[in-house]
Structure 1
Amino acid sequence: MNSLQPEFVDSHVHLDLVYAYRSDRIEWLRQIGCLPISWAFSRYVGSVADLKVNLNAQQKAIHTIRSTGLECFYLTGVHPRNIPPDLVPEKIADILAPFLEDPVCLGIGEIGLEFGGQQEKEILAAQLSMAPEVSRRKKILGLHTPRNDKQQITQEILSVLEDFQPWCSSIVVDHCLPETIEAVLKQGFWAGITLSPVKASHEDLDQIIKHHPEYVNRMLLNTDSGSKFNEDLYRLYLSKSYPDDIQMQLFRENALQFFGLMHLNNPQL
């Protein structure tokens, strides 16, 4: 693939679902210069067998999309809403490790907690236990926080992450809001902000930047688009609402740095 410097990065999208439900958007993303990072999520997982099929299908979809000319990458992992009843923590590494061999796979995500139950916590811990190997490979981990009970569940996630502080530069906690982002940033993690009608707004982002200007270099923006597609990030990018240095950090540089893709700033080299 002949890589072009991206105009901006969507740091969290479900590109396989976009491809399945809104295939016209793949060419649109290419035309506007968006570099999407696809995170793992499936609409249905009833068993470990389903999980394996879906993760392999995601990998195949991303490679197929790349063959159309859209530069994109993906994360693999077990989303907290995709944990089948027959999955045990001891099997996590065997399921996920093969994907880390793929250079198009940038790490593990979307992992995290949805309701904070015991199985969720065990599966999260098992995936986080791969952090040393993920970091050794210069890859990352992406964590989900839920819409409901966001502050409480975010605190539970941060409590779990206390044992993984040595790898904080390789971990992003996503779907942050003004009321949750400070704790994430102060513990040294990267913070994802999802711009969509049901998550963070332009006004939320303005508030975050106003109150935490010293942490702008660890903020990642995204849409979390999947079967439903959001243009909020693109519209905000076009608005040029921020000074040039902040605009560049928020929409491109931070994400390229975090995901280890800075070479795409000078793709001709």
Structure 2
Amino acid sequence: MCTGINRTPESMGTPLSLDLKEIKGMRFFDPHIHMVSRTTDDYQAMQEAGIIGLIEPAFWVGQPRTGIDTFKDYYSSLIGWERFRSSQFGIRHYCTMGLNSREANNEKLAEQVMELLPHYIYKDGVLGIGEIGFDDQTALEEKYYRLQLELAKEANLPVQVHTPHRDKKRGTTKSMDIALEHGLDPSRVIIDHNTEETVEEVLERGFWAAFTIYPFTKMGNERMVEVVKKYGSERIMVNSAADWGISDPLAVPKTAALMLKMGIDKKEVERVTFYNAVEAFSVTGQLSVDVLNEPLKIDAEEKFEGNTVLRGGQQPKRNTESIIIR
């Protein structure tokens, strides 16, 4: 585990009851979540909890891809079907495009992906290059991290950096060193998956510090509360990185609720769960507070390439009060 902390259910104390009344009416933006692996129930729950926008970074799919066409289909889904699916629940979907660190170690395929990426990074809905960086901190991971930093410079896009789960502090420092070596402005680089051992250096060097609230293996939100109490809210953002593993697509609103309960000022909570992420990824002009303030019109009759989630004129609502399914 990247935290080095052996957290068992027995050691974690009595949980607080789930009560989101304190955040009723608040808006949230999750800048890192892998919705391709989530269900429509998740979209419904996210919308009900106040999430109005999200970013889905390109990543691996749990097993190695075997050919370039699988990357094409995946990238196309991020700017196509998944964006449409999200809109049917009133949530604006954006993404970042990149070659992830795990699959950078397949050099033959990685070379083909690098040729493919320029065809996608200028598409509507793409806000940056990501998530890229280090996993095992190999020479090939560094090679393709550097190449993608140059691609980001050429396209004038921000970069979403995946920091390694193992030897995190060294990998985080190395990621920032290389970004600066390539002439990137730290304000255009989001360093993700921070912990208490990395945050101070990230902030001191002028980068954005993103924290992933992910059960057992990354940050818990009680620890996140203490980080904000110590460092404030400037250039800090919270995400869920919810994927196919044991993860929580409501991590951002739940963390906001806990922060308020623990006495953190509401304005600071809003910065780390909404405004900071929007500012960091606003470079292309596609994302802004004004854009997010415009409610998405949900049309149950609308289709994407002949398909829809809301079949038969369904509404994007679920009945949580009854055992009857109609």
Q: Aligned to 2:242, what secondary structure does the other structure show?
A: coil
CA deviations over 1:73-97 (Å, ceiling 9, x no partner): 11111111133331355x5553222
Structure 1 pair 262/14, CA: closer, same or farther in 2 (3 Å)?
same
More helix by share: 1
In structure 1, C-alpha distance between the alignment counterparts of 2:291 and 2:86, rounded to whole Å: 15
Residue matched to 1:134? 155
Q: Which residue of 1 aligns with 2:180?
A: 162
Runs of 4+ in 1 over 4 A off after TM superposition: none
Structure 1 residue 201 corresponds to structure 2 residue 223: no
Q: Percent of counterpart pairs with the same letter?
A: 22
User: Shift in Å at residue 123 of structure 1?
Assistant: 0.6
- In 2, Cα distance between the equivalents of 1:134 and 1:186? 26
**Contact 1:9-1:252 within 8 A present in 2 as well:** yes
Contact 2:71 2:113 in 1 (8 A): no
Which residue type is aligned with residue 188 of structure 1? Answer: G
Pair 46,32 (structure 1): closer, same or farther in 2 beyond 3 Å:
same
Q: Partner residue of 1:57?
A: 77
1:116 aligns with 2:116: no
Aligned residues: 255
Cα drift, residue 169 of structure 1:
1.3
Show structure 2 runs of 5+ residues with no match. Answer: 1-24, 283-287, 296-326
TM-score w.r.t. length of structure 2? 0.72
3-state DSSP of counterpart to 1:130 = helix
Shift of 1:99: 1.8
The range that moved more, 46-55 or 249-258, is 46-55
Shift of 1:124: 0.5
- Aligned residue in 1 for 2:289: 262
Asked if 1:234 corresponds to 2:253, the answer is: yes
**What's the C-alpha RMSD, in Å, of the aligned pairs?**
2.2
Deviations 1:50-80 (A, max 9, x none): 3233222333232222441321111111111
Partner of 2:271: 249
* 8 Å Cα contact 2:28/2:252 also seen in 1: no
Gaps of 5+ in 1: none
Q: Does 1:86 align with 2:139?
A: no
Find the aligned partners of 2:221 and 2:45 in 1 and give their Cα distance. 22
CA contact (8 A) 2:50 2:253 kept: no
Paired amino acid for 2:48: Q
Of 162-171 and 250-259, deviating more is: 162-171
